Amino acid sequence: MRAPERPTFESEASRTIYQYVERHGTAARHRIREMTSLPPERFRTELEALETKGYLEEDGGTVRLALDVGSVEEFETDDGIYLIRPGQNRDFDGLVDAIRDVTSKESYVVAESVAEQLLYEDAVTRHNTVESRVFFVATIDDEIAGWVHLDLPQVEKLRETAQLTVGVRPDHRRRGVGDALLTRGVDWAEANGYRKVYNSVPATNDEALAFLEDHGWNTEGIRRNHYTIDDEFVDEVLMAYTF
């Protein structure tokens, strides 16, 4: 299932099952059945229908969203090998730690809000009739070194633009990780029919602005004194990449 597609349901039971899994990231099959109070045969039929439509998948009794956002890519540098792959719910703690590591050293307000949203919702991936959220992560020796995140509104008038955040832990920079992550996120958005991705960066974050500019992003606008950082008003720079 491609993330931009709005999920549709044949029955209220089907909707209930999907929403339970979507809100929890993953869920045990028997817990879902208990929650729905459906007879076993009806529950099995509804779950199999969702799997057939490509909405859910099951592995050994654990049910999860079946978002197909790509494969694992391997990159080799002088410092070793790193992987870029779709983020999963098992990455939750490492992903939050990586975002907090980046935002503790640099002003990146949107990424801070993404971390808080993850903690509030307790799920990495979201996909419902209102919004979708996907992550790609870079891992080095199974440690999350960086991320790229796409927030994908499902509201019809906003469905062709996506908000993107990207970051790499300071200890893993200068290896091409950020370049590869940004490329993965932008390429995915283009392949899925988006016409623009955008990012909001404090004007004081010179490295982030230069990084995006080097990759062909342009300044679309500035909101004066939008942030309050260290008791000072800071402008917000609205950056975008248009396909």
The H-assigned helical ranges of 122-241 are: 177-191, 206-214
| Chain segment 125-177, per-residue pLDDT in tens | 888 877 789 999 999 998 999 999 999 987 778 889 999 999 999 999 988 99
How high is the pLDDT of residue 55?
87
Alpha-carbon span 49 to 44, nearest angstrom: 9
Q: Which two tokens stand for residue 163?
A: 């908000």
Q: What is the mean pLDDT of the chain?
A: 91
pTM: 0.81
Cα separations in angstroms, 70 against 48, 134, 139, 238: 23, 11, 16, 28
| Chain segment 34-73, per-residue pLDDT in tens | 999 999 999 999 999 999 988 898 989 999 888 767 789 9
How high is the pLDDT of residue 66?
80
Q: Which residue has the higher pLDDT, 128 or 19?
A: 19
Helix then strand then coil, in percent of the chain rounded to 5, is 40, 35, 25
Tell me the pLDDT band of 5, cut-offs 50, 70 and 90.
low
Q: Which residues contact 81 (CB under 8 A, 6 or more apart)?
A: 74, 75, 140
* Element spanning 28, H or E: strand 26-28
**SS3 label, residue 137:** strand
Please check whether residue 57 is in contact with residue 27, taking contact to mean a CB–CB distance below 8 angstroms: no
Please check whether residue 145 is in contact with residue 172, taking contact to mean a CB–CB distance below 8 angstroms: yes
Quickly tell me which residue has 């230069």 as its tokens: 210
Lowest mean pLDDT among 3-17, 110-124, 179-193: 3-17
